[in-house]
Chains A and B, each alone.
Chain A
Amino acid sequence: MKKFLVKISFFTLLIVSLLIILDKVFSVYLSKSKYHSSGEFNVWNDIYAGNINAEILIYGSSRAFNQIKPQILEENLNRSCYNLGIEGHNFWVQYLRHLEYLKKNKPPKYIIVSFDLWAMDKRYDLYNYTQFIPYMLFNKNIYKYTSSYEGFKLPDYFIPFYRYIGKRGVINEAIRNIFIEDKRMNNYRIKGYNSSDKEWNDDLDNAKDSMRYYVSGTDTATLQLFQNFIKECKEKDITLIFVYVPEYIEGQKFTINRQDVIARYINFSEIYNIPFFDYSGDDMCLNKDYFYNASHLNKTGSEIFTQKFVNDLMAHPALKDLKKN
């Protein structure tokens, strides 16, 4: 028995050591992927490298990172800026990014929260879950804010290599990056921003064909988290700014309670005395040339919009200190 136990323990130790090494190697090389996880690794890497330390941060979903160009804000406001928008996620996971950012970077002076109709909702699946894989081992924040989704199991967060088991696409990507420098989608997210040169796609036509209408839901926990976030920012002396970015007019009708949702954001801004820049009915919404689908501006649209937004920011009486001389 003793011989068996010694050998099995030694062999297990070797396998566990091998898996810990592989975990580390795969995590490092997976995070170098520019292509995988829709470029979210670029942003996470910047966060964990701790070299963002921006004075202005932009929070939101893909409607944030596709539509607000930090470079334009930097040029006009003379402040460093970074777009932390995260594709497909509501405020629940946006807040996770906020926490992880503060772990490694200095707190910003301003946070621009870009709302969309689904910000206070919570999806059931952990969209684009592979983006968390390189960073999630023993990470309590990631565990806390992603474990309620259908995505990872408990051992994924705390047992080395467990989250790689059976994820062939992820392992292949990591191995690929060991041997080949990833040049796909180079510069996809610069300062977190992605300029989409995409042509107008058929999302809207499909929506029209299917005649599906949506009701934006509200997750109570997310709503509470958002209110706590507002208080946290006040305590940390971070100025919050809310913005609602334009949506193409024909796509607006598909969310039945759109006006109620926007009214709630207005209500927030009034209660907490936070400037709210509402472009939900802006003229840009009428021009299809600015969009690549009903809810996302294209490169031209996002640049025009960002300039317009900066001008409005600078003109706002409560934000006189925003522009640094």
Chain B
Amino acid sequence: MLFNSIDFAIFLPLVFFLYWFVFQKNLRWQNFLIVCASYIFYGWWDWRFLSLIVFSTLVDFVVGLLLKNQNNNTKRKLLLLTSICVNLGFLGFFKYYNFFLDNFVSAFSFLGVSIRAEGLKIILPVGISFYTFQTLSYSIDVYRRKFEPTNNFISFTAFVSFFPQLVAGPIERATNLLPQFYTPRAFDYTKAVDGMRQILWGLFKKIVIADNCARLANIIFNNTDEYAGIVLILGAVFFAFQIYGDFSGYSDIAIGTARLFGFELMQNFAFPYFSRDIAEFWRRWHISLSTWFRDYVYIPLGGSKGNKFTIIRNTFVIFIVSGFWHGANWTFVVWGFLNALYFMPLLLTKRNRKYIEVVACESKLPTLCEFLNILLTFALTLFAWIFFRAENLNHAFLYIEKIIFQSLSREALVDTYNLLYWESGFALIALLLFFLFFEWNGRRNKFAIAITGIKWKRFFRWAFYATIILIIFYYAGEQQEFIYFQF
């Protein structure tokens, strides 16, 4: 079920009603309702893949319980290994099987050995990368004795399958989310209203910004041969906003929806395009995944402790693995590699934590230096996004080659003008400016319109929300699936 569908518009109020009006007095029934709702939500795509979630839930629940009473280190390791093998096994099979097979065959044919191997027609279950990481974090935390395993199966199942964040995150930790299923939830007016506002802004980001940028980005990326470099730069900019609007919009809707049910999910995006260096960008982009890799991969490898070689190795490992997590394609690996490359000078000169606070924290506008840093960081990100979006490495290299060698000519400018004119590009640019204005204004908060209009008279505040709703309805035609569902 998509957040931006009429199905969800019916589903959400129905679950909300049952949750607060029918089962409000019984925590266990409330959690059971969440499990049922989550399974319906997920099964709406393909009910067959529910079995994967159920199996993964069972394995990690049992592993957790067994770890609780197990003091033998070897057996504890074996139990953890079981959880890792099951979760990564599913992920590996559904997501990477064909990739490894193809590369295996290519590698052998490069060595002169011809191998015949047929790939499997595998459908990637929606959100598998998200819930496997979530359940893995539970087993690892229990293994590390950082978290007391639960013996409440319903709560655990609700934690694994919680529908707002099931298919595209934020990837929650058991330490944050699971305890929320143990305690009775009281309806909180402020939280709920805030949640509604966040849902509204998330829908705006997804439907207005992401889906419309996607249309132009797809035209440009799918016809790289036909366009001059300057148009291709524009294509990368549109893609940058597409992926941001798409993913952060989904996260906003997820967090807002969870708040309606009395849950607090972690912030997943914190205005990353206003970052002044790449380290800040990675503290603000897909926070739940970055911190997951930090806690479960980077730190166990030694983190930034040790000699320079270890630091460099660990940084490359974490970025490349993170890239590979996004998909079975070398383009994602290069994307991760590039980000590691960008990050390295900051890390080695120990300037990676220079910008912790949000930009222009005390002022309305950034300084010239901050502004240039933001532009430079955005440009670096943009370059990496080309690999992320490209079909394959050849496509990415062609794209970059055209940007470098065929950007500035009279024909290129005419091309740009024509594309923007015929594809409503000028209106989209105006919308992006409108969007950036609100994002900039709200950069000190958890989401852009968290406090916009709070002090206004109700009439103006509601008129503001109504305007956003009408803009969403006006631009709603280009419905596309959330990009991160494929990861």
- Residues of A bordering B, CB below 8 Å: 1, 3-4, 7-8, 11, 14-15, 18-19, 155, 161, 164-168, 171
Q: A4–B424 Cα gap in the complex (Å)?
A: 39
**Most interface-central of A11, A19, A165, A171 (chain B CB within 10 A):** A165
Residues on A with C-beta less than 8 A from B478 are 166
Are A165 and B466 neighbours in the complex by a CB distance under 8 Å?
A: no
Q: A94–B469 Cα gap in the complex (Å)?
A: 37
Q: A4-B192, A166-B479 are in contact. Are A18 and B466 (CB under 8 A)?
A: yes
In the complex, per-residue mask of B168-209: 1 if CB is within 8 Å of any chain A CB, else 0: 000000000000000000010100110010000000000000
Residues on B with C-beta less than 8 A from A167 are 477
B29 within 8 A of A: no
B465 within 8 A of A: yes
Q: A11–B192 Cα gap in the complex (Å)?
A: 14
A-B contact pairs, 22 of them (CB 8 A): A1-B20, A1-B189, A4-B187, A4-B193, A7-B193, A8-B196, A14-B462, A14-B466, A15-B466, A15-B469, A18-B466, A18-B470, A155-B6, A161-B473, A164-B473, A165-B476, A166-B476, A166-B477, A166-B478, A166-B479, A167-B477, A168-B475
Residues on B with C-beta less than 8 A from A19 are 473
Interchain pairs with CB closer than 8 A, number: 38
What 16 new A-B contacts, CB under 8 Å, besides A14-B466, A15-B466, A165-B477? A1-B187, A3-B189, A4-B189, A4-B192, A7-B193, A18-B466, A18-B470, A19-B473, A166-B473, A166-B474, A166-B476, A166-B477, A167-B477, A168-B424, A168-B474, A171-B474
Q: A228–B187 Cα gap in the complex (Å)?
A: 60
Residues on B with C-beta less than 8 A from A155 are 6
Q: Which of A11, A18, A164, A166 contacts B475 (CB 8 A)?
A: A166
Q: A4–B189 Cα gap in the complex (Å)?
A: 6
A133 to B: closest C-beta gap in Å: 14
Closest A residue, CB atoms, query B424: A168
Q: A164–B475 Cα gap in the complex (Å)?
A: 10
- Residues of B bordering A, CB below 8 Å: 6, 20, 187, 189, 192-193, 196, 424, 462, 465-466, 469-470, 473-479
Q: A3–B187 Cα gap in the complex (Å)?
A: 11
User: Chain A at the B interface: mostly helix, strand, loop or mixed?
Assistant: helix
Q: A166–B465 Cα gap in the complex (Å)?
A: 18
Residues on A with C-beta less than 8 A from B466 are 14-15, 18
B332 to A: closest C-beta gap in Å: 31
Q: A4-B189, A155-B6 are in contact. Are A168 and B477 (CB under 8 A)?
A: yes
Q: A1–B188 Cα gap in the complex (Å)?
A: 8
A188 to B: closest C-beta gap in Å: 25
B403 to A: closest C-beta gap in Å: 31
Closest A residue, CB atoms, query B20: A1
Residues on B with C-beta less than 8 A from A7 are 193
Q: A1–B190 Cα gap in the complex (Å)?
A: 10
Q: Which of A11, A166, A171 contacts B462 (CB 8 A)?
A: A11
Are B189 and A165 neighbours in the complex by a CB distance under 8 Å?
A: no
B287 to A: closest C-beta gap in Å: 29
Residues on B with C-beta less than 8 A from A171 are 474
Residues on B with C-beta less than 8 A from A4 are 187, 189, 192-193
Closest B residue, CB atoms, query A1: B187
Q: A161–B472 Cα gap in the complex (Å)?
A: 13
Closest A residue, CB atoms, query B473: A165
A184 to B: closest C-beta gap in Å: 20
Residues on A with C-beta less than 8 A from B196 are 8
Residues on A with C-beta less than 8 A from B192 are 4
A220 to B: closest C-beta gap in Å: 32
Residues on A with C-beta less than 8 A from B474 are 166, 168, 171
Closest B residue, CB atoms, query A12: B13
Residues on A with C-beta less than 8 A from B477 are 165-168
**Most interface-central of B465, B473, B474 (chain A CB within 10 A):** B473
Residues on A with C-beta less than 8 A from B470 are 18
A154 to B: closest C-beta gap in Å: 9
Are B193 and A11 neighbours in the complex by a CB distance under 8 Å?
A: no
Residues on B with C-beta less than 8 A from A15 are 466, 469
Residues on B with C-beta less than 8 A from A161 are 473
Closest A residue, CB atoms, query B207: A166
Q: A166–B476 Cα gap in the complex (Å)?
A: 4
Q: A4–B17 Cα gap in the complex (Å)?
A: 13
Q: Which 9 A-B pairs have the closest CB atoms?
A: A166-B477, A166-B476, A1-B187, A165-B476, A165-B473, A4-B189, A4-B192, A3-B189, A155-B6
A269 to B: closest C-beta gap in Å: 46
Q: A3–B478 Cα gap in the complex (Å)?
A: 36
Q: A33–B261 Cα gap in the complex (Å)?
A: 47
Q: A266–B476 Cα gap in the complex (Å)?
A: 49
B12 to A: closest C-beta gap in Å: 12
Q: A8–B462 Cα gap in the complex (Å)?
A: 11
Q: A156–B478 Cα gap in the complex (Å)?
A: 17
Residues on A with C-beta less than 8 A from B193 are 4, 7
Closest A residue, CB atoms, query B187: A1
Residues on A with C-beta less than 8 A from B473 are 19, 161, 164-166
Residues on A with C-beta less than 8 A from B465 are 11
Q: A18–B6 Cα gap in the complex (Å)?
A: 19
